[in-house]
Amino acid sequence: MSTQPTPHRGTAELLTVLRDHEDVKREAEVASVRTIVAWAEVNTVETPEDAATLSDGFVDTGVPIAGDGAPLVSEFALMELCAVLGRSTAGGREYVGKVLETAYRLPSVWQGVLEGRVPVWRAQRIADTTRLLSAEAAEYVDHHLATFAATCTFAQVDRLVEEALARFDPETAEERRREAAEGRRFDVHTDDAGIEGTVAVDGVLDVADALDLDAALAERATELAQLGCEESRDVRRSMAAGDLARGNQSLGLGHETGAAGLDTRSLVPHERGSTTKNRTTTTSRRAVDLHVHLTDTALTTDGVGTIGRLGNTRTPITTQQIRHWCSAPGTTIIVRPVIDLAGHEPIEAYEIPDRHHRQVRLRDPVCAFPHCNRRAERCDTDHAQPHADGGATCPCNLVPLCRGHHRAKTHSDWGYTILDPGTYLWTSPHGHQFLVDHRGTRDLDHDLDRLDHRRTHRH
């Protein structure tokens, strides 16, 4: 180890050096996957018997390492390649398969890899989700990721793959839905109860049921805090579950006393239901809040390949599932008017009305800070120009920021400018700039450096 003193370097210089090292690493990774594709071209086989396939533990699945349309590569040649790569045969199969899946079945993502816009590891993660899709479904995924592959979350990729499966292989999608429904359960592990006085609970629920349960627990936990309970939020939610079980839940069953003996009579709705001694029983109705793009007949006909979206979770939902939810007794269907996401409706007050919150969250589903993916529902709504300085309380001046990034914007040298509704130019404390819009985050400094590099090599 060298004993020479390290010259002092400032933060800005260290960040630049680190970014240069990352660029070198990315270029090496791109060169490596290019070479693997070239290797595959000279090591293809014609028959599946000689081809490398995926393995499930110690069992060969018989499934080619990449999807339909990618070349079959020699099993024995692949063993040699894995050794050269320093990987196990099983690990090498996975890695090479995802490289070939990207190169041959996801051309837009592959082009992003070659241009340095999409990191190799990200392309691999995407490819891992598409290998079992049909060629048509994989093409659909690739088309929709053409401009978003570098910035979308993996949850978004998974939802897109599920949507492609439902569109192009609806029979398999419906079979999976039914199998998942058969796997629903709710377990209370009373056999494991000990002297501590607690037990574990876990389960798998229908999404609509889970949302109803989560909302009930959240509301009851809030009520307990208002009644003077000083336990943490998690503890209050667990107490709320007990109240729900005993019928002491204001969303469904009201009772005089709830968890820890707290009086709940003032919080119980009495507008409907039947009254018995010391107890008021009310009925709650399911509210299905759907943000869907469907024809007016989609819910009453077979609608094969038609997809809706559940606004609560931003997940694609088949019309069969939507019909199932909406046909449940007591369901209330909420129809909301279309909102102009670029509309302006300023008010003088500092407090932000619910309609403005809703518009901002539909326009910006996640925190507007670079690379942040926290859902807007869990974020603060920031006045871009402070209200005290004349900033309007209007969707055009409101931006979702998670609590940590809101604090950074308020108390540090991080700052942003609204270029258009939903498009933000951020500047870091040391002058690095990032463009955030519906496609994700772009490092503008890196884009300029890459452009300068190309111009230098061109001349």
Give the residue-averaged pLDDT of 324-340.
66
- What does the pLDDT read at residue 272? 34
Residue 276 pLDDT level (bands cut at 50, 70, 90): very low
Q: What is the pLDDT of residue 141?
A: 94
E strands, 210-342, in order: 253-255, 274-276, 279-281, 287-289, 307-310, 315-318, 332-334
Look up the pTM and report it.
0.62
Confidence check: pLDDT of 258 > 60? no
Compute the average pLDDT of residues 239-245.
88
DSSP summary character for residue 7: P
Q: Of the candidates 41, 26, 161, which has an alpha carbon nearest to the alpha carbon of residue 96?
A: 41
Evaluate if residue 307 carries a pLDDT over 90: no
CA distance linking residue 440 with residue 147, whole number of Å: 9
Q: How far apart are CA 97 and CA 67, in angstroms?
A: 9
pLDDT band at 52 (very low <50, low <70, confident <90, very high): confident
Is residue 68 within 8 A of residue 104, CB to CB? The reply is: no
Mean pLDDT of the chain, nearest integer: 80
Percent of the chain with pLDDT over 70: 75
Residues 82-108, mean pLDDT to the nearest whole number: 91
Q: Give mean pLDDT, residues 439-457.
A: 68
Contacts 24+ apart (CB under 8 A), 184-188: none
Mean pLDDT throughout 418-424? Answer: 92
Of residues 209 and 195, more confidence is placed in 209
* Overall average pLDDT of the 353-360 stretch: 88
298 pLDDT band, cuts 50/70/90, is low
Is 182 or 247 the better-scoring residue by pLDDT?
182
Q: Average pLDDT for residues 247-257, to the nearest whole number?
A: 48
Alpha-carbon distance 176 to 171, whole Å? 9
Amino acid at 289: D
Per-residue pLDDT averaged across 408-434, rounded? 91
Determine the pLDDT at residue 301. 62
pLDDT at residue 106, rounded to an integer = 96
Tell me which long-range contacts 16-24 makes (C-beta under 8 A, separation of at least 24): 19/445, 19/446, 23/446, 23/449
Q: Which of 176-190, 214-228, 293-307, 330-344 has the lowest mean pLDDT?
A: 293-307
137-157 average pLDDT score: 89
- How confident is the model over 55-81, as pLDDT tens digits? 765 556 678 889 999 999 998 888 888
Q: Which residues have CB under 8 Å from 150's CB, separation 6+?
A: 112, 117, 118, 119, 122, 440
The segment with the largest mean pLDDT, out of 311-315, 345-349, 402-406, is 402-406
The answer to whether residues 288 and 327 touch, using CB atoms and an 8 Å cutoff, is: no
